[in-house]
Structure 1
């Protein structure tokens, strides 16, 4: 009796625990069933896609370039002498014909005075000989003077005329040298520092300039490009020559693009044998002197155009993988599959695909993280992708955009 009585509470507790466990399992099963849609299948993940199309595409390239002045002039002394004054502000803008240096003009003024005196003497001699010749004309007719004396007087007049010409030339040279004592700017532009000081003795034999002027309202962009790359662009576009006049954009060190555009002037016809590169030259307006000579920049230019190309956003392409450049294409069955493509060049925020895609295919641009969480071969729901965020993408919506950024980073 005691044994049966003591076992009865134990059985009661076991039955109660079993009932509680069954109730919890039933509740969990109900929640799982409620989380699944009708039919017991998870919905297909959404991915952003673009539909490819054929269109004329500019084949842009980004190349290194050095900035060079449109004109350069070295200011040099044209006469010997001591520099008395510097008449410009270093680093400022000077005009053509502006006085820059004053060399001591005293010796050259003395030469002018001497040449003027020599000219006056020659003119006086010419006047005397001319008067004598005029008197000899009637005397020769009356045979009051010999023909030899008359001939000598005619020759003396011609010599006096030559002396006057020589004196005039010497006076002109003396005045030129006196004017050269004032050193003028040969061109307009920005002048650098003075390379001679006041009191320095300068000479026409000096190898160094007194100052350097550079015209910078326009500048040259000296661009270098691989000859192989240039030929590749020509083959892609079916062109024989790179046309001059193409627009050129300048990319600064911080990645910003200057609002003004230049134009391509020419492409060199010779390949540098030491580097395998050709030189291209562009002209760029520079009214605010933002570009300085010798500055390193990068330029973008569309050297050719494909009559029918395909553009895909850069974030859609995985570059440099084991199989090369790849992207994901959604097939007719809704399943994404990897596709090997050939990239031609950059066009803004897009890549130019030259092989591996056809018009009308759907390329995955967004949603890569969702695909990584699904088994391979899982169908997806393709929705159109827009490169610009929605206007309400601030606050909470901005946080919802972060997985997309992670998708891109995972590529």
Structure 2
């Protein structure tokens, strides 16, 4: 009887022993995730903007004849540098020289008539005193003399006009610069003030660069400059050529157009660049790097530390003093290289999570590894 009662107890002993063993086994602690953080700091930052533009000659003159005639000679080589006042074309001057000589002879004749009429007028002035001639005759002599004087002035003007036309037979360079293709050859008939230019001279050192900036960008810049701690940028500019290379010389911003183009909604800025080597040619497409403003205390952070929520808002994960994750909404102003310029949402000294972002959630405890130095300082 006693053995039969003990048999069920003996059967349950192993299970009781196992249960006690499981209850006394210690629990493991949850392991913390390690994240890399970037310590937020401020720095002085120059904001730059790349704007497209076109090069333009600082001076340009289309050569046209001021008289009509036959081109007798071309005195320049196309593509050469010509100096102001150099003779470019010679027009046949035979008829203009004859007109000049005729005007000179006519002037001499008029001057001789003045001498004769003056002597007659002076003689009549003496005779009228003794009633040798009438007063009317004296007045007529005076009128003839004055007409002769006026005629001399007219002949002088005619001579001057003939001289100018004779000079115009030598078509000269109005400015110094590089001359282009000639549209006429020797023997061609040209006319005064014709619409077709004989050639064009362009001054290529220095050159202008006309840059376009949208009115929206201009308004944003003005709003930025109105903020505390923001100063106006330098007026010096850099230039990128069509092949992407950086132009060796810096330019200077000269002025900004006072109106907005209604068709494009843009404003034109003009800069001037030295061009001693003749690299810049009129009409080239370039990109100008403009220093818009200087931020005294700018906050730049690596782009991998900023993400977007489903609504498209920029967010950042920050490790607080208790080594726990906080999520903040931030406002980014623009991308600069591989970093974001932060407008608001982050403060100096914040530890921004830049590595392991996908491994953690808000409120999670983490182990921090500072990777500020390895990422380098923002430029």
Give the TM-score category using the shorter length: 0.7 to 0.9
> Which residue of 138, 150, 162 corresponds with 1:162?
150
Q: How does 1:272-287 map to 2 (within 5 A)?
A: 272-287=261-276
Counterpart Cα distance in 2 of 1:314 and 1:128: 100
Q: Which moved more, 1:376-385 or 1:329-338?
A: 329-338
> Which residue of 127, 133, 140 corresponds with 1:145?
133
Q: 1:319 to 1:260 in 2, by over 3 A?
A: farther
1:84 corresponding residue in structure 2:
72
> Which residue of 98, 107, 112 corresponds with 2:100?
112
2:342 corresponding residue in structure 1:
353
2:159 corresponding residue in structure 1:
171
Counterpart Cα distance in 2 of 1:273 and 1:82: 46
1:229 corresponding residue in structure 2:
217
> Which residue of 130, 133, 136 corresponds with 2:121?
133
User: Is 1:267 matched with 2:279?
Assistant: no
Counterpart Cα distance in 2 of 1:320 and 1:87: 73
Counterpart Cα distance in 1 of 2:108 and 2:134: 31
1:305 to partner: Cα distance: 3.3
Q: 1:81 to 1:316 in 2, by over 3 A?
A: farther
Q: Report if the CA contact (8 A) 1:251-1:297 is conserved.
A: yes
- The answer for unaligned runs of 5 or more in structure 2 is 1-29
1:332 to partner: Cα distance: 4.9
2:245 corresponding residue in structure 1:
256
Counterpart Cα distance in 2 of 1:243 and 1:98: 45
> Which residue of 191, 198, 203 corresponds with 1:203?
191
Q: Deviations over 1:305-331 (max 9, x none)?
A: 334321235676679998466677565
Q: 1:199 to 1:322 in 2, by over 3 A?
A: farther
Q: Deviations over 1:132-181 (max 9, x none)?
A: 22333332222222222221111111111111111111000000011011
1:3 corresponding residue in structure 2:
none
1:312 corresponding residue in structure 2:
301
> Which residue of 43, 53, 78 corresponds with 1:65?
53
TM-score, normalization by structure 1: 0.72
RMSD of the alignment, in Å?
Answer: 3.5
Q: Report if the CA contact (8 A) 1:264-1:282 is conserved.
A: yes
Q: Which moved more, 1:351-360 or 1:161-170?
A: 351-360
Q: Report if the CA contact (8 A) 1:68-1:219 is conserved.
A: yes
> Which residue of 301, 320, 326 corresponds with 2:290?
301
Equivalenced residue count is 344
1:75 corresponding residue in structure 2:
63
1:110 to partner: Cα distance: 0.9
Q: 1:230 to 1:161 in 2, by over 3 A?
A: same
Counterpart Cα distance in 1 of 2:337 and 2:209: 21
Counterpart Cα distance in 2 of 1:257 and 1:327: 36
Q: Report if the CA contact (8 A) 1:83-1:102 is conserved.
A: yes
1:103 to partner: Cα distance: 1.2
**What SS does structure 2 have at the residue aligned with 1:178?**
helix
2:109 corresponding residue in structure 1:
121
Q: Which moved more, 1:197-206 or 1:308-317?
A: 308-317
Counterpart Cα distance in 1 of 2:64 and 2:186: 15
Q: Report if the CA contact (8 A) 2:48-2:289 is conserved.
A: yes
